[in-house]
Amino acid sequence: MAAISHHTLPLPDFDRPVKLLLVVAPYYREIADNLLAGAKAVAAAAGAAVEVAEVPGALEIPTAIRLARGQGEFDGYVALGCVIRGETTHYETVCNDSSRALMLLGLDGLCIGNGILTVETIDQAAVRADPAGQDKGGGAAAAALHLIALSRKWKGRTTGIGFRPGGRGEQPA
């Protein structure tokens, strides 16, 4: 079978400063540090400022993001952490609930990049977290930046809602 290539979008350009909140659960410190390094490098490449907040685990990441939203000082958020399958169903709960909560926040208008790794082994996590490897932390930061760019592009648009402007007495075509 032929290798599948991955396409990565170029980072967006911004005409106004961008500030990201990187929320990290450092339960597996080395993995979290690599995710954080990748996210910081991508943010810097896009000229974005960052602030880092640590929380105890992946389940607390969405809550921290929701709390920060109320402060109104961040343009986007990056969720970083690692969940490794164990012997109980706790893995499924943490993976599903953290992912679902982040998705709901995103659907509510927040620009979030999800860099919470869900893996079977620590070796899988190390490959995915490595900034010189798969760089999933950098990918999550890039995702947040792309969503911020889209949000800014579409913010305030009021045209194209389904009505055509017309003068007096004109009938729509």
- 19-154 CATH fold: Rossmann fold (3.40.50)
The residue assigned the tokens 């913010």 is 155
165 pLDDT tier (thresholds 50, 70, 90): low
19 in Cβ contact with 75 (< 8 Å): yes
Q: Which residues of 36-70 are buried (b: 16+ CB within 10 A; e: fewer)?
A: bbbbbebbeebebebeeeebeebbbbbebbeebbe
Total Cβ atoms within 10 A of residue 152: 16
Of 4-8, 92-96, 128-132, the least confident: 4-8
- Its pTM stands at 0.88
pLDDT at residue number 25: 98
What is the DSSP track for 64-128?
A: HHHHHHTT---SEEEEEEEEE--SSTHHHHHHHHHHHHHHHHHHTT--EEEEEEEESSHHHHHHH
- Residue 168, pLDDT > 70, answer no
Residue 105 CB contacts under 8 Å (≥ 6 apart), including other chains: 62, 65, 66, 69, 77, 112
Domain layout of the chain by residue ranges = 19-154
The phi, psi pair for 145, rounded to 5°, reads: -65, -40
Which tens digit of pLDDT belongs to each residue from 94-131?
999 999 999 999 999 999 999 999 999 999 999 999 99
Q: Which residues does the annotation mark as catalytic?
A: 90
Residue 16 DSSP symbol: S
- Residue 81, pLDDT > 60, answer yes
